[in-house]
Chain A
């Protein structure tokens, strides 16, 4: 009897360890109502122009800031190979700076310091999606070329994009960087990163103009178009301190030649932030959307100054997107009927 109780308690204790007891928890509210509330808020702005929440980074810059790809050497390895490029998209004749370093997978300062100093041999192959090899590269940590500081553990190589591999105007190629690294202690690593080989079919000329229309700010950008097709213009409006306030986008089918493209920042976003100006076009980029991958153009910064205007010049009216309001209504009806 005693042993039976003892065994039962042991099993119960084991079960408790295996399946932790859940706290009394419930859903905040029906998911439908959560979505509906967010749609009613979002419906105040058009889909082509929205405010940037205070404290958030410039969305165009954030999306075009290259990120690091990391991969461990083998199962349970304490180290990982980190790889990154100096940008996301490059054009013919431009230098692509590629970087790699060996890092502690769970950073511990002393260990990291020790591993970073280990000598590495790093090589890479550049491959396009069709499997064609563009180049074989050797990385170095010698303080020359793309390498900023000798012996800092960051290995680098510079590659100039050859025009003979360039995509047709308006198009782009995805290029993979396949890396092999060998640490001094014999552990080997592999990884992959990448960048886009872009041939934009149109460029911003640097000529900008702005005007007020129906309580919103209209930005006009001049572009030189080489290849006919669809183009996407996106820009962020910032205050003079560089804080982003609103973003806007537009897309157009353009013919070759010098063209003017318009972009509208919905006035409500400026009105609500009290952004009478002066303001800046903090970032702007023109993308060739003739196919996927889109050919990304460069991001230009602080290209135009928008003069101060009375705040009342900007609309205080909610846009009232009918699609979102209808979606919210249906979700609310669903939730209330249940």
Chain B
């Protein structure tokens, strides 16, 4: 009898601990990057598959084998980052997630905002630009306050954002394609094959930059990105890059978006496109696709102002801090 009671009590405590642990984990909300068609917007499975490569699954890794709850957003990635079907749709979906609504696949966050839940946004590529616009226009004093969606609610409810390969300062690839110099570089396998509307707004010219139309993000945007070259394209980009987006953009640097950086000298946390809100995490030997589909579990390097410590001090920039870890797995160890 006693044995049975103890057993039940142990089981109850274990259940409680699991429950507390699940509740303590943030709900991860995934925002994909630029598209050449409306597929991710009209078909949720396409948005979900954006994060997969064969049997590899970024979301599975980031959520620790789905132990954390998650929500996958599908917006119109063939519209400019500020468009109602881009930033507006993303904002509405984030609010839906925080209210306990389901994504197109029936996934819901474990707790609503009203129940005390926390929410992290994970954004890839142009998804980072979209989040910059939302989080930089959340206050009634901002130029594009709640421009086409509930930006203020998003900003008040999410805990932070992590961007991987974020196009915060645009892409030199977009410059090349819109400048008709794609003949010189191989962009054929990329999502920037022609100068469509979102590509126009992802150039590195000042008049299309998200920083020109928004303020510092209301919640921190943490930055990681890859430095594995893509044959052809990388040879046309400045400094390290993931084959599509150059470091100056991935790490939201101030100054020229074409400045050449590497792991040892990429801009630190006090030299960002805004005076606050952007912080470095690390860099990975992944290309632009690997950053979001878990296909490559590879070396990770420390960068200035990043998150890794070696023997109690910040690791020297360029230090190899992991020998086999994808960005999906990396996000899984951040919480």
Contact = CB atoms under 8 A, between A and B. Distances in A.
B116 interface: yes
Interface in A99-113: 105-106
Contacts of B299: 19-20, 22
Interface string B174-188: 011011110011100
Contacts of B218: 47, 323
A28 B281 CA distance: 10
Given A19-B324, A22-B322, A53 B275 contact: yes
Given A35-B219, A249-B215, A25 B141 contact: no
Nearest to B113: A330
The prevalent SS among residues of A at the interface is mixed
Interface stretch (A4-12, A157-165, A184-192, A303-311): A184-192
B143 A294 contact: yes
Contact of B322 (A25, A30, A196): A25
Interface residues of B, number: 87
Nearest to A88: B206
A214 interface: no
Contact of A334 (B24, B140, B232): B24
9 contacts: A25-B321, A71-B176, A88-B207, A89-B207, A176-B179, A176-B200, A250-B141, A251-B145, A292-B82
B307 A194 contact: no
A327 B159 contact: yes
Given A71-B176, A71-B181, A327-B219, A174 B207 contact: yes
A34 B207 CA distance: 33
Contacts of A292: 80, 82, 144, 147, 213
A27 interface: yes
B107 interface: no
A3 interface: no
A51 to B, nearest CB: 9
B5 interface: no
A250 B279 CA distance: 26
Q: Which of A27, A80, A296, A337 has the most CB of B within 10 A?
A: A27
A240 interface: no
B276 A50 contact: yes
A69 B256 contact: yes
A179 interface: yes
Contact of A70 (B24, B172, B206, B235): B172
B228 to A, nearest CB: 13
Contacts of A85: 206
B280 to A, nearest CB: 11
Interface string A51-92: 011001001001100111111111111001010010011000
A75 B235 CA distance: 5
Nearest to A179: B179
A170 B214 CA distance: 18
Contacts of A232: 141-143
A180 to B, nearest CB: 8
Contacts, number: 244
B24 A195 contact: no
With a 10 A CB-CB cut-off, give which of B24, B257, B298 has the most chain A CB atoms. B24
A27 B143 contact: no
Interface string B296-335: 0011101000011111001100011111100000000111
Nearest to B236: A72
The 6 A-B pairs at the shortest CB distance, nearest first, are namely A194-B205, A192-B179, A190-B181, A337-B24, A25-B321, A70-B258
A237 B266 CA distance: 30
Contact of A196 (B176, B185, B197, B207): B207
Contacts of A177: 205
A191 B179 contact: yes
Contacts of A174: 200-201, 205, 207-208
A273 B194 CA distance: 50
Interface residues on A, range: 35 or more
Interface in B6-25: 20-21, 23-25
A75 B335 contact: no
A295 to B, nearest CB: 11
Contact of A191 (B141, B143, B181, B323): B181
Given A334-B26, A337-B24, 17 more contacts: A25-B310, A25-B322, A34-B279, A59-B274, A67-B204, A71-B179, A75-B236, A174-B207, A190-B181, A191-B176, A194-B208, A195-B205, A232-B141, A287-B143, A323-B156, A326-B156, A338-B25
B254 A21 contact: no
A120 interface: no
Interface string B191-226: 000000100110111111001110110111010000
A175 B207 contact: yes
Contact of B315 (A23, A69, A71, A289): A23
A207 interface: no
Given A232-B142, A251-B143, A35 B181 contact: no
Contact of B319 (A25, A42, A191, A195): A25
Nearest to B23: A337
B206 A190 contact: no
B178 to A, nearest CB: 5
A143 interface: no
Given A22-B320, A48-B139, A293-B213, A334 B276 contact: no
Contacts of B184: 72-75, 77, 190
